[in-house]
Chains A and B, each alone.
Chain A
């Protein structure tokens, strides 16, 4: 059985799902680090934090992540999207090392290699193994049923 390959737009959506979470989290971390400590006694200061540039950017990226994730699930299996988008952990480690200048141990680099291998392996297989829902087909099928019912009724009348 042959499976259609992902088109460029679908590859870009999977890539965005992967990079938007670590980028969003890094923006939130950077934004929160710039603010003074927030206590539960002053919860309104948390709302004010939402409007600071880094945190607003982080929230926008996480909203974009969720929209892209849902889009990916509409044309690919969950068991395909999960490992394929696990590259986010890899980007998170790269961001931590190169942007936030955190030390990355060899165990974490091994983790990065394993995730990359898993993501690369699954994306060489089919994205969808369940019958796709197609509205045009569904409408056509409904017309066919309607037409068949009409023919049956005509035959009964004759």
Chain B
């Protein structure tokens, strides 16, 4: 029987990793969508122009902040739980939350093909960790 306090503590730590990681990835994707094709920008304004376009985008800066929070949340979770639990749980759930967030916030057309691919990769990550 799992101790309920321990269960909720583990759930909260994994949820923190998943939510901050998803926020970081979706904000970064929103930034890159708002900037446009980097290859075109680089061809037009050079590498410096492309780097400037990325680092001056507010969504990118906030996205990086959330990615950093996700990294430290992961370190904190690893300090309390096994890698074999945190690693696959965070990776698989982040895939699902990213897909939902991309559909809601980025207005991506997530059809049956993309859901199937996300679920297959999720299951694959689960098996890889065992």
Residue numbers of A with Cβ under 8 A of B are 9, 70-71, 73-75, 77-83, 86, 89, 93, 105, 107-108, 110-119, 121-122, 124-125, 129-130, 132-135
Contacts and interface: CB of A to CB of B under 8 A. Distances in A.
A74 B106 contact: no
A79 B120 contact: no
A82 B29 CA distance: 11
Contact of A73 (B32, B111, B120, B128): B32
Nearest to B118: A83
B127 A107 contact: yes
Contact of B103 (A73, A79, A89, A108): A79
Contact of A115 (B38, B39, B121): B121
A39 B60 CA distance: 34
Contacts of B109: 129-130
B29 A78 contact: yes
Contact of B37 (A105, A113, A132): A132
Which residue among A77, A110, A134 has the maximum number of chain B CB atoms within 10 Å of its CB? A77
Given A74-B32, A122-B114, A135-B36, A83 B108 contact: no
Given A73-B28, A78-B29, A79-B118, A112 B124 contact: yes
Interface residues of B, number: 43
B52 interface: no
Given A71-B39, A115-B124, A78 B108 contact: yes
Given A89-B128, A112-B124, A130-B107, A70 B28 contact: yes
Which residue among A79, A82, A135 has the maximum number of chain B CB atoms within 10 Å of its CB? A79
Given A79-B102, A79-B110, A135 B41 contact: yes
Given A70-B54, A107-B130, A133-B35, 6 more contacts: A70-B38, A74-B36, A74-B37, A77-B108, A132-B36, A134-B36
A135 to B, nearest CB: 6
Given A108-B127, A111-B124, A114-B123, A71 B38 contact: yes
A79 B123 CA distance: 16
